[in-house]
Amino acid sequence: MRPRAMTKLTFGAAAAATLGLLATLAPTADAHQPSGHKPEPKRIGYFTQWGIYGRNFQVKDLETSGTAAKLSHINYAFGVIGADGKCLMGNAPGSDPWADYVRPVDAATSVDGVGDTADQRLAGNFNELRELKAENPGLKVMISLGGWTGSAHFSDAVRTDAGRKTLVASCIDTYIKGNLPVDGARGGAGAAAGIFDGVDLDWEWPGSEGAPGNVIRPEDKPNFTKLVREFRTQLDAYGRSLPKPQRKHYELSAYVPTAPAKIDAGFEVAKIMRDFDFVNLQGYDFHVSGEKTTAQQSALFAKNDFSVDQTVKAWLRRGAPAHKLVVGMPFYGQGWTGVTGGGDGLGQPATGPAPATWGAGSEDYKHLKKLADSGTYKLHRGYRNGHAWLFDGTNLWTYDDPTVLRAKASYVRQNGLGGAMVWSLDGDTPDGELITAIDRGLTRR
């Protein structure tokens, strides 16, 4: 992403100054904010389907860490859109029914302490989410559709009215009605009913470049608006069709970009915001480790560069209500190696992505915290920009720590925004250090 013009400041006990600056640098809440109405800020966390494997991050960890009690929503990543234009499970890249609902979870790993049996119709992550909701009655779970590697078929699927109707109906059938494919004793009609409380659209990106190979069309922009309308229509109709005691409003959200060019290429903002309950703003990956020069990935403020504040203002200017804008925050960092040029390392040439635990250039916060505590790296802060980075003279990591997240949460609260979203929950420490910082920033009076 471009351009880059950085203000690099280092401070020690200047965290308080961050909060003081928010009032003067932050945008003014827009006229769409309902008068006198201040709903509780949303606290949304993405749970990755694949995190149960290498990271061994289980749904139960959300309970034992205290994270679940601090969340309003969990976005389950990801539901798959197949080449046939339907939500599907099974024989498609990214689909993992074993993780979703087939895998037996033992007593030690289960939220309720009871192991799954062979004859259960629902097991795996879905059943654990059901148990987690039972322990946290206010918690909602959304199915997130697509993702960076799962958005290839959106454009084809939504080209026609019939295609949009088919796609939406299939997603509601699979996730909202819970009609899962039969796999041995697992699945069947209604097996996952009641788990998902809405749909999160993660099409990256309508009308502009995403993952290599994605189909992109100029008509993606109006077709996305029509897709949102179709989801809103069918979700509302299904919610009203339930027996009276069970009737409900199913929520609809989306993950949306920071770059103004991508916003304008794919989103009719004023129109789609009428049908969305909220949108999750991209608040990270402003710069990534594949670039040749080190830079911030998630600054709250930045001069002549992408930032959280720039993203919020871009959506406000295009007609989005402030109270529907949820700010994305990273639980991971972007890293470079071979950094030369001296100084604090930011804005300097690098030879490539830094070595990391799971994949070069990207590291979970829980591991970056160990680097920060090791004495090998120096911690730098751009308090006016609201970001942090670690530098050891060769390797640089830019990331959000509790100080940065408290400042961002305060920004959300002071400006009447919709709340905070995090990618992803498995990057936090076992005691939920980051989600606690966000929670405190959002609730401070």
Active site residues: 204
Long-range pairs of 120-123 with CB within 8 A, sequence gap ≥ 24 = 120/185, 120/186, 121/185, 121/186, 121/187, 121/188, 121/191, 122/180, 122/186, 122/187, 122/191, 122/192, 123/186
How many Å apart are CA 137 and CA 367, to the nearest integer?
32
Spatial separation of the C-alpha atoms in residues 321 and 335, rounded to whole Å: 34
In degrees, to the nearest 5, what angle opens at C-alpha 392 toward C-alphas 389 and 398? 20
75 CB contacts (<8 Å, ≥6 apart)?
44, 45, 46, 47, 141, 142, 143, 144, 200, 280, 421
Distance CA 422, CA 5 (A): 26
Decide: 202 and 145 in contact? Cβ < 8 Å.
Answer: yes
Strands 396-399 and 332-337: antiparallel
